Chain A
Amino acid sequence: MAEYAVILVHTTSHAVYAERVLKHAGLAARLVPTPRHLSSDCGSAVRIPADQRAAAAEALSAAGVEFDRIELL
């Protein structure tokens, strides 16, 4: 089982906002450079513990934060 997952977002604005929302929800979110093998976008993604994926998706949806997808690292 992977230790971490990353939430891929459109742009750094979304990444920073998503991180804020997730931390507010008590999740261990951290901004990281977007892994190249997952996206050709420049910029940042939000890393979370793999077991917090469902909670993260729920928190982002509840706050209306758009994200592309969540991938295991």
Chain B
Amino acid sequence: MNYLDNAATSWPKPDSMAEAMLRYLRDVGASPGRSAHRLSIQAERLRLEAREAVAELVGLRDPLRVVFTHNGTAAINLALFGLLEPGAHVVATGMEHNAVMRPLRALERRGVSISLAACRPDGTMEPAAVAECLRPHTRLVVMNHASNVCGTVLPVRQVGALAHARGIPLLVDAAQTAGCWPIDMHADNIDLLAFTGHKAMLGPTGAGGLVLREDFDISRLPALVHGGTGSRSEHEFQPEFLPDKYEAGTPNAVGLAGLAAGVRYVLERGVDKLRAHEQSLTQRLIDGLRSIRGVHVRGTHDAARQTAVVSFTMDGKSPAEIGLALDEQFEIMCRPGLHCAPRAHLTMGTSPAGTVRLSPGPFTTLADIEQAISAIASLAAAEAHG
């Protein structure tokens, strides 16, 4: 079996991640932040370990600036619906995932105006494309860090600098980069960072969050979900302090125990080392696929400028047909179609049919990559002769 769908959800996971979840379920079990008994406190300690690991991963000192949500999408919704009021203008890019585009379109109906900075078909973008979109009433720039379709990394640091020069905050959707690409929210000029735990952070599904840089004034961002926090219980209004302001309701404690272990694994191995492994596999995959007649690889063709996500099309065969053949004949798991990112496919010229996406992970081997290349070559040869 050859799992090449890490951009959707990473798998396999480190054993330590599953063991941490089992330990929580077997030995802790209680809700963090509620009650003050030893098991509740133990659960809170595990949640703090998750906050500390995430903070370290993205270059933050204060772990309580990490707030947890169900996933990256929920974190993006929290930021967008909180910061954009009717009449506001927001800039996004031509490579966004629907996690950004759908909330933006919903906000557009409430009177928010949107500009999309132009990207090239290979997914790259000049920072100037964002500068051209800024207006006097622009309240936010939101962008993905790397495309979930072709892996191309966007210039967040430069965009953040030019947004900050106008006093505009930058929200980054780091679903594809947190855990596999170096991130320092201070050096990279990121005010708000939305992450999801189940991809390169090697945690389970159902645990993501929003990281608010230390100098981001949280009074600017109202809560989206209101409810019990275990604190200030005598009040019927949501508390204004972190992290409770944004964490109403019982959290996914078992998921956070797993997330802490997943991120700790990444930190112990080192993002740079994991990245080097994935970069070398990605370049081999790109080169191997490009050598096959009838196969067209999208993106920059340069693994140094992208994450481990490779999209391709094949003459005469739809992405869905290729995906099914790879699964049934070769036990290769990929993701065909539009990848919840119709905007990115429009930019890349691959809409509406989409592409086939292969995404290696930290446990993928060179042999897995060679097997995938051979399988796709044989499908292409069959198509050419068939």
Do A12 and B241 touch across chains, with their CB atoms under 8 A apart? no
Q: Is the interface of B mostly helix, strand, loop or mixed?
A: loop
Cβ contact of B33, chosen from A12, A33, A64, A65, cutoff 8 A: A12
CB of B293 within 8 Å of the partner chain: no
Do B234 and A12 touch across chains, with their CB atoms under 8 A apart? no
CB of A49 within 8 Å of the partner chain: no
Q: How far is the CA of A11 from the CA of B243 in the complex (A)?
A: 9
Residue of A nearest to B42 (CB): A16
Cβ contact of B241, chosen from A16, A40, A44, A66, cutoff 8 A: A66
Do A64 and B62 touch across chains, with their CB atoms under 8 A apart? yes
CB of A73 within 8 Å of the partner chain: no
Residue of A nearest to B46 (CB): A16
Residue of A nearest to B244 (CB): A11
- Given A41-B233, A43-B33, check contact A12 B40 (CB 8 Å): yes
Q: Which of A10, A13, A40, A66 has the most CB of B within 10 A?
A: A13
Residue of B nearest to A33 (CB): B36
- Given A10-B239, A14-B64, check contact A43 B48 (CB 8 Å): no
Cβ contact of A12, chosen from B44, B61, B62, cutoff 8 A: B44
Residue of B nearest to A42 (CB): B233
CB of A17 within 8 Å of the partner chain: yes
CB of B230 within 8 Å of the partner chain: yes
Do B243 and A64 touch across chains, with their CB atoms under 8 A apart? no
Residues of chain A within 8 A (CB-CB) of B40 are: 12
**B15: min CB distance to chain A, Å:** 26
Cβ contact of B64, chosen from A13, A32, A42, cutoff 8 A: A13
CB of B231 within 8 Å of the partner chain: yes
CB of B232 within 8 Å of the partner chain: yes
Do B36 and A43 touch across chains, with their CB atoms under 8 A apart? yes
Residue of A nearest to B243 (CB): A13
Do B241 and A11 touch across chains, with their CB atoms under 8 A apart? yes
A1-45 near B? 1/0 per residue, CB < 8 Å:
000000000111111110010000000000111100000111110
Do A41 and B232 touch across chains, with their CB atoms under 8 A apart? yes
Q: How far is the CA of A14 from the CA of B244 in the complex (A)?
A: 10
Q: Which of B33, B34, B44, B241 has the most CB of A within 10 A?
A: B44
Q: How far is the CA of A15 from the CA of B48 in the complex (A)?
A: 10
Q: How far is the CA of A66 from the CA of B242 in the complex (A)?
A: 10
Which B22-55 residues have C-beta < 8 A from chain A?
32-36, 40-41, 44-45, 47-48, 51
**B302: min CB distance to chain A, Å:** 40
**B13: min CB distance to chain A, Å:** 26
Residue of A nearest to B233 (CB): A42
Cβ contact of B48, chosen from A10, A16, A32, A40, cutoff 8 A: A16
Q: How far is the CA of A33 from the CA of B74 in the complex (A)?
A: 32
Q: Which of B32, B61, B230, B239 has the most CB of A within 10 A?
A: B230
Residues of chain B within 8 A (CB-CB) of A44 are: 36, 41, 44
CB of B229 within 8 Å of the partner chain: yes
Q: How far is the CA of A12 from the CA of B47 in the complex (A)?
A: 11
Q: Which of B32, B48, B63 has the most CB of A within 10 A?
A: B48
Q: How far is the CA of A43 from the CA of B36 in the complex (A)?
A: 5
Q: How far is the CA of A13 from the CA of B48 in the complex (A)?
A: 7
Do B41 and A13 touch across chains, with their CB atoms under 8 A apart? no
A29-71 near B? 1/0 per residue, CB < 8 Å:
0011110000011111000000000000000000011100000
**B197: min CB distance to chain A, Å:** 18
Residue of B nearest to A15 (CB): B44
7 closest A-B pairs (Cβ-Cβ)?
A11-B231, A33-B36, A16-B44, A12-B33, A44-B36, A10-B241, A12-B44
17 CB-based A-B contacts, threshold 8 Å: A10-B232, A10-B241, A10-B244, A11-B229, A12-B32, A12-B41, A13-B32, A13-B33, A13-B47, A14-B64, A15-B44, A17-B64, A41-B233, A42-B233, A43-B231, A64-B61, A65-B64
Binding site for A on B (CB under 8 A): 32-36, 40-41, 44-45, 47-48, 51, 61-64, 214, 229-234, 239, 241, 243-244
Known contacts A12-B231, A33-B36, A42-B34; 15 additional CB pairs below 8 A are A10-B239, A10-B244, A12-B32, A12-B41, A13-B243, A16-B41, A17-B48, A17-B63, A31-B36, A41-B233, A43-B33, A43-B34, A43-B36, A43-B231, A66-B241
